[in-house]
Amino acid sequence: MNKLVFLSIVLLLPICTISQVKEKVEYIVLNSGDTLYGDVRSKLEIGINKKYHNKVGYKAPGKESKHYTANDLKAYKRKDFHCVSAQIPSRDEKVFLYHVIEGRMNYYVSGERTSTSPVYSGTTMGYMGGASGPKPSLFIKKDKDFIEVKKKNFSDVVKENFFDCNYFSDGTVGKKLKLKGKKYSHNNIESLVELYNERCSK
């Protein structure tokens, strides 16, 4: 190998390593808007219902770890998970939701990878661990409110939040949405959000 080429590769290696480290940065965002970087660990709330978590541990370099609740933070990032603090209708206190899709319409899922909880695998209803844990709750947000999507309210959610777009208003919805020759249920809400952002973004 040409010595000059070899030297160039060696010199570039530290830059690549630094870039990879920056991509793995973890942080918390306080309600004040300040972002603190360090090690972040999620914690399940104590109780029977392990579907939601509302606590995270944070450790700044060289300092003792602290714990924060969803009331204390706007958001946090741990590994590949960006979670936001959310006030949802079924809970008195704020909880953290995993922000799956960002766009004109946003999509969120309860839960996040932890060592003691069911593991969200990256698809709407996909859990590694099967039926041993609770199914995730699914949420959309287009304006200011988080809306939980369930089987029983699927029809109303679609009409109220998707039919402002001509692409969707051509469909018919009952227990399932019939659109362009395909059928969608509440289990397919992630695909519908992606479709909405693709076809209906202003």
Report the alpha-carbon distance of residue 186 to residue 169 in Å, rounded: 17
Tens-binned pLDDT, residue by residue, of the chain (202 aa): 555 544 444 444 444 333 344 455 899 999 999 999 999 987 644 333 556 778 889 999 889 989 999 999 999 998 878 899 999 988 888 989 999 999 999 999 986 444 333 334 333 333 333 445 567 889 999 988 999 999 999 999 999 999 999 899 888 888 889 998 899 998 899 999 999 999 997 6
pLDDT given at position 177 = 92
Task: Give just the sign of the alpha carbon dihedral 161, 165, 169, 170.
Answer: negative
Measure the N-to-C terminal CA separation of the chain; round to a whole number of Å. 53
Q: Is the pTM of this model over 0.85?
A: no
pLDDT given at position 133 = 56
Strand partners, 107: 101, 140
Give the amino acid at 72. Answer: D
pLDDT given at position 192 = 95
Report the alpha-carbon distance of residue 51 to residue 13 in Å, rounded: 42
- Cβ neighbors of 49 (< 8 A, separation 6 or more) are 134
pLDDT given at position 92 = 85
pLDDT given at position 9 = 46
Three-state SS sequence of the chain: CCHHHHHHHHHHHHHHHHHHHHHCCCEEEECCCCEEECEEEEECCCCCCCCCECEEEEECCCCCCEEEECCCEEEEEECCEEEEEECCCCCCCCEEEEEEECCCCEEEEECCCCCCCCEECCCCCCEECHHHCCCCCEEEECCCCCEEECCCCHHHHHHHHCCCCHHHHCCEECCCEEECCEEECHHHHHHHHHHHHHHHCC
pLDDT given at position 115 = 37
pLDDT given at position 18 = 34
Task: Give just the sign of the alpha carbon dihedral 195, 109, 123, 78.
Answer: positive
